[in-house]
Amino acid sequence: MNRFHRILCGSAFWKRKLERDIFPWVLQGTPLGDEVLEIGPGPGLTTDLLRARVAKLTTLEADRELARTLSRRLVGTNVTVVLQDTTEMQLPDSCFTSAVCMTMLHHVPSTDLQNRLLAEVARVLRPGAVFVGCDRIFRSRFDLTHLFDTKMPVPPKSLDGRLWSAGFERIEVEVRQYDFRFMAWKPARANAPGELSA
């Protein structure tokens, strides 16, 4: 993230937006379980809100400086900060009760890598676990927050098919003026080829 973007994502304004609007809308009371994975926390405002709701939170951050700062700040808490590429997770299969991804998918630099991230999330979730998140809708090429920064918009119309291809079912995508949310579930059991889930 560029300097302006980092300042914005760590600001009191963004914290209020997360608390009052984004978190209630995205989570909608969904049970996250006790072993939660967060993808791309950035400065960690989303981490602070999540860790108050769950027993154990593992958060993956690809930026070395952000991961180091967040790890130092949260030492001794219920959060484990891992410096790791989210498209190639070094985590075991089926180990999390849910995964959360707040406004970071557009920072993954290609559609192919975004799809790999979705598939990796499906791999590390337990059967029957939920994946929830949101991202921005970009309506203009000009965007100060992403100037000289990675910005690969995620078209919400294509997301349900991409989540299904990654291994999810019961997919919901809801669009607002400036953002969208999604919710998708890993099947509770493996299906035989061509079999629909119950």
Q: Is the Cβ–Cβ distance between 116 and 56 less than 8 Å?
A: no
Q: What are phi and psi of 73, to 5 degrees?
A: -65, -30
Range in 25-29, 55-59, 85-89, 145-149 the model is least confident about: 145-149
- Summarised one tens digit per residue, pLDDT across range 55-105 is 999 999 999 999 999 999 999 999 999 999 999 999 999 999 999 999 999
Residue 7 has pLDDT above 60, yes or no: no
What's phi and psi for 38, nearest 5 deg? Answer: -110, 135
Q: So what's the pLDDT on residue 140?
A: 52
Average per-residue pLDDT for the chain: 88
- DSSP-assigned letter for residue 158: H
The confidence score (pLDDT) of residue 121 equals 98
Over residues 170-197, the mean pLDDT reads 81
Is residue 115 within 8 Å of 162, Cβ to Cβ? yes
**pLDDT (tens digit, 9 = 90+) per residue, 30-64?**
999 999 999 999 899 999 999 999 999 999 999 99
What is the rounded average pLDDT of the residues 9-13? Answer: 66
- Domains of the chain as residue ranges with CATH: 3-185 (3.40.50.150)
pLDDT the model gives residue 198:
43
Q: What is the mean pLDDT of residues 131-144?
A: 76
Percent of the chain with pLDDT strictly greater than 70: 84
Using the predicted structure, report yes or no on whether residue 139 has a pLDDT greater than 70. no
Q: Is 130 left (phi over 0), alpha (psi -120 to 50) or beta?
A: beta
SS3 labels along 64-119:
HHHHHHHHHHCCCCCEEEEECCCCCCCCCCCCEEEEEEECCHHHCCCHHHHHHHHH
| Rounded Cα–Cα distance for residues 87 and 145 (Å) | 23
Structure-model confidence comparison of residues 160 and 143, the more confident one: 160
C-alpha dist (Å) from residue 108 to 85, 99, 103, 127: 10, 17, 11, 26
